[in-house]
């Protein structure tokens, strides 16, 4: 088993929370794990990116080479596009369809979407709307994680256990909302596959 995952988004969207959950689930599954993060101007709405490498064999580098990623997971479509050169030909993109417009020259969304869809292996939908339906908009990152989970070789129950452990101190309502968001994201992704 080997999964090289690029997690991308904008500061404050919860990308590093996804990395934390996947890391905990991987360790609970006795997998090897390497992670490298770039925070940029994350506190000011800047780029946040994490290389997450999971394997049943030892891993020597924490960085993913160009063309080596199995999966790009992004809460911001332009950020998914930014890391497209890292994606392998067989790799998948799982991204939110709603942009976080934080720059004056944000490209037309139609062009961003076309460039992503031209790759061929794309799961793209409004993660925030799904999160609002089942929990709160703040859980859109958990919807994203659920949508990415069919492409990650970790049992969903192990990921859910990691979600429960991470959010346990915030109370049962928050835990169950985040688990519901994860499950709904997984359903939406499998409908698009």
Q: Please write the tens of the pLDDT for every residue from 76-96.
A: 999 999 999 999 999 999 999
Confidence bin at 13 (pLDDT 50/70/90)? confident
Res 105: pLDDT = 80
Percent of the chain with pLDDT over 90: 74
Q: Please write the tens of the pLDDT for every residue from 59-69.
A: 998 899 999 99
DSSP secondary structure, the chain, as one string: -EEEEEEEEETTSSHHHHHHHHHHHHHHTT-EEEEEEE-TTGGGT-EEEEEEEEESS----SSPPTT-EEEEEESSHHHHHHTGGGEEEEEEEEEESS----STTPPPHHHHHHHHHTTS-EEEE-HHHHHHHHS-GGGHHHHHHHHHGGGSSS-HHHHHHHHHHHHGGG-HHHHHHHHHHHHHHHHHHHHH-
Res 134: pLDDT = 95
Percent of the chain with pLDDT over 70: 96
Contact 64, 6 (CB under 8 A): yes
Res 144: pLDDT = 97
Q: Please write the tens of the pLDDT for every residue from 119-176.
A: 889 999 999 999 999 998 899 999 999 999 999 999 999 999 999 999 999 999 999 9
């Amino acid at each position: 088993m080997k999964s090289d995952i690029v997690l991308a988004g904008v500061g404050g969207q919860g990308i590093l929370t996804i990395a934390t959950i996947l890391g905990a689930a991987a360790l609970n599954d006795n997998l090897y794990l390497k992670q490298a993060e770039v925070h940029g101007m994350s506190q000011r709405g800047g780029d946040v990116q994490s290389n997450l490498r999971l394997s049943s064999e030892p891993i020597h580098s924490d960085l993913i080479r160009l063309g080596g990623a199995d999966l790009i997971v992004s809460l911001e479509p332009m950020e998914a596009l930014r890391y497209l050169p890292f994606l392998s030909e067989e790799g998948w993109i799982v991204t939110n369809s709603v942009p976080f417009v934080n720059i004056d020259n944000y490209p037309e969304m139609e062009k961003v979407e076309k460039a992503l869809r031209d790759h061929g292996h794309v799961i793209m939908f409004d993660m925030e709307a799904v999160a609002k339906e089942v929990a709160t908009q703040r859980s859109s990152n958990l919807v994203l994680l659920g949508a990415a989970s069919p492409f990650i070789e970790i049992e969903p129950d192990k990921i859910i256990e990691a979600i429960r452990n991470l959010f346990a101190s915030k109370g049962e309502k928050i835990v169950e909302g985040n688990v519901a968001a994860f499950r709904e994201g997984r359903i939406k992704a499998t409908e698009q596959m």
